[in-house]
Amino acid sequence: MSTPFPFTAVVGQDDLRLALLLNAVSPAVGGVLVRGEKGTAKSTAVRALSALLPEVDVVAGCRFSCDPAKPDAACPDGPHEPGPGTTRPSRMVELPVGASEDRLVGALDIERALSEGVKAFEPGLLADAHRGILYVDEVNLLHDHLVDLLLDAAAMGASYVEREGVSVRHASKFLLVGTMNPEEGELRPQLLDRFGLTVEVAASREPDQRVEVVRRRLAYDDDPAGFAARWADEEAAIRQRIIAARELLPQVRLGDGALRQIAATCAAFEVDGMRADIVMARTATALAAWAGRTDVLAEDVRQAALLALPHRRRRNPFDAPGLDEDKLDETLEEFGGSSEDEDPDPDPGPDGPGGGGQPPSSDPEGPQGGETGARPEAGEGGEPQPSGAGAGEQSAVRAAEPFRTKVLSVPGLGEGAAGRRSRARTEHGRTTGARRPRGTLTKLHLAATVQAAAPHQRARGRSGPGLVVRRDDLRQATREGREGNLVLFVVDASGSMAARQRMSAVKGAVLSLLLDAYQRRDKVGLVTFRGSAAEVALPPTSSVDAAAARLESLPTGGRTPLAAGLLRAHEVLRVERLRDPARRALVVVVTDGRATDGGAARSASGRGGGRAAGGTEQVALAGRAARLFAAEGVASVVVDCESGPVRLGLAGQLAGELGGTAVTLDELRADSIAGLVRDVQGTSRRAA
């Protein structure tokens, strides 16, 4: 939109606005990650921030935004002599989720290089974002190779491009702001740590605030320019406050007492590395400057901890974000000395940016957790399901400790989304061949291009040195890397699995596989079966932690409708193929292989004979359902949960019907001796 929504017109979201303003005061804080559900003004607030930032001085004509007072000595458009320059507004550059590597870092114009012999480098988004804001919406969906490039640029403050005979280095210092919906998957820890602050946002549950949000949005949509004009005074006031805070920032004193509180807090929450301490110190200093003070107080340290630590504390990837505020207060009090805490909830300035007399937020949600921190759906499966459960139903059993699993992969060569599980043709990876380009040429295979052009040189009138290359000669490099898969868990939660110790081990194994899926950038789904039916406990999603939450609350008991579970999983895969045909599936069936059904057993005559007849019928139905997967070539693994001295081997039979393999719980471990012996024996048999 040509007229952005005014920053001061955003209703509520005090923590979000404060975190953005602190970065405007002190860009050294390191950016903001905004986590929250859709429709919570994440993107609106970020886009509005750029209009508040002061203008920047740049060297006239420099595509890399060099500072005229101190030009970059290695600027590709340089060298520049220090001197007066021109001013332009601060720039916010958006990085689309589907952007290519060339768009991010810049690229050589291949066709000009081959046809004209000119090395023409076109800067990318990292150059455009220098001395501005780099905004990544849905940052958790960004491809891993782009994340790696962002990490390098953020760490070094520069971008290095080495490709196709071009070697370019240029400065790239930017304020990194990302937004994400946690339901769509989490960020890699390495990128998570690069964001200075994090904020959890959620829609207000206060009716008055919701009414005000709708009223302002409708007014803005009707007349963007007129709406912005009504907020011009508030925007100017907060812009002046940012400038004043920037001028005051060098005078702010961070005393030894505040530093000791910062160090003690980071140690108490067991955060890794020293970046958290540094970010907290910079944030506390910016808070003091924003409040118009030259001394950092305990209240600044506390607010800095709430913004800088939730995403850095050492925790299981599936734990809810947030800090234990009681523990935080105890730590600050223990190491506080003579800190003043007369006002336990000081106002660092959100009322300034809110403006307009909007109602104060009474919603406890924020970076410290609140309702957001308790988001896992405790009410959706946290209680035993009475319907169809049958005798022997148990409440949810806690999972055993997770472990590192052996790698399960899909055979063949896919073309799905980039990940780390199965072999695939990708845009990044090792070069395996060449082909004619389909559309825009992105990766030139130089040797194949020369080989294609060489036989035609005489016909093209070339008799001396050199090579005449035409468009038809260009060859695209084909590369092989890894893809992420859809890992669909089909978990037996019936009475035959319901011994508490045994089910705890089963849940621990599935949790271990979920951790593996998290690290390999997979989508996951969860189908469970028990009683008389199967249900989709979690439709396919990138939010692996949501699957872990559903697994933790999974009750057990009742009969074993194995066929129903397999048929429901088959239907889930059918629907998912329509949505994402390139992503291949790996079905992981966690069961002991037994199959019973209350209806079938009751319909047979006699108690003992009826149970046997019903079981036999169910095994046959499960076999027919399994052969559907084999017929479609779906990769599958059966995790055999059978235990005890007498084993029927039904899980192995099921794996044969599925056309997959079976592993025991022990063999699933990456460091399992049993699994290693089995792999070695299998290799020996194949060699023979």
Residue where the block lists tokens 């190491």: 335
> How many C-beta atoms lie closer than 10 Å to residue 440's C-beta?
8
H-only helix segments in 456-606: 500-519, 544-552, 562-579, 598-603
Contact 348, 291 (CB under 8 A): yes
Nearest to 245 by CA among 289, 293, 284: 289
Cα distance between residue 145 and residue 565, in whole Å: 37
CB 558 within 8 A of CB 601: no
Compute φ and ψ for 594, nearest 5 degrees.
-70, 150
Phi, psi of 60 (to 5 degrees): -60, 130
> Is residue 480 a contact partner of residue 424, using CB atoms and an 8 Å limit?
yes
254 sits in the region (left: phi over 0; alpha: psi -120 to 50; else beta) called beta
Secondary structure of residue 488 in the 3-state scheme: strand
Q: Give the DSSP H/E element, type plus range, for residue 524.
A: strand 523-530
Task: Tell me the backbone φ, ψ of residue 92, rounded to 5 degrees.
Answer: -115, 120
- What is the three-class DSSP state of 77? coil
Q: Is 574 a catalytic residue?
A: no
Helix, strand, or coil (residue 187): coil
Q: How far apart are CA 634 and CA 589, in angstroms?
A: 12
Q: Do residues 247 and 308 make contact, with C-beta atoms less than 8 angstroms apart?
A: no
452 neighbors 475 (Cβ within 8 angstroms) = yes
Residue 601 CB contacts under 8 Å (≥ 6 apart), including other chains: 559, 610, 611, 613, 614, 615
Q: What is the DSSP letter of 182?
A: G
Beta pairing partners, 108 = 121
Separation CA 651–CA 664 (nearest Å): 9
Cα 425 to its chain centre, rounded Å, is 22
Contact present, 565 and 530 (Cβ < 8 Å): no
Q: Given the residues 217, 239, 275, 293, select the one marked as catalytic.
A: 275
CA distance linking residue 404 with residue 96, whole number of Å = 34
Question: Is 167 strand, coil or helix?
Answer: strand
Phi-psi category of 405—alpha, beta or left, where left has phi over 0 and alpha has psi -120 to 50? beta
Output Rg (C-alpha) for the chain, integer angstroms: 30
- d(CA 86, CA 59) in angstroms, rounded, equals 6
> Could you tell me how far CA 454 lies from the centroid of its own chain?
47
SS3 71: coil
Find the length of the chain.
688
Q: Which active-site residues does the annotation give? A: 275
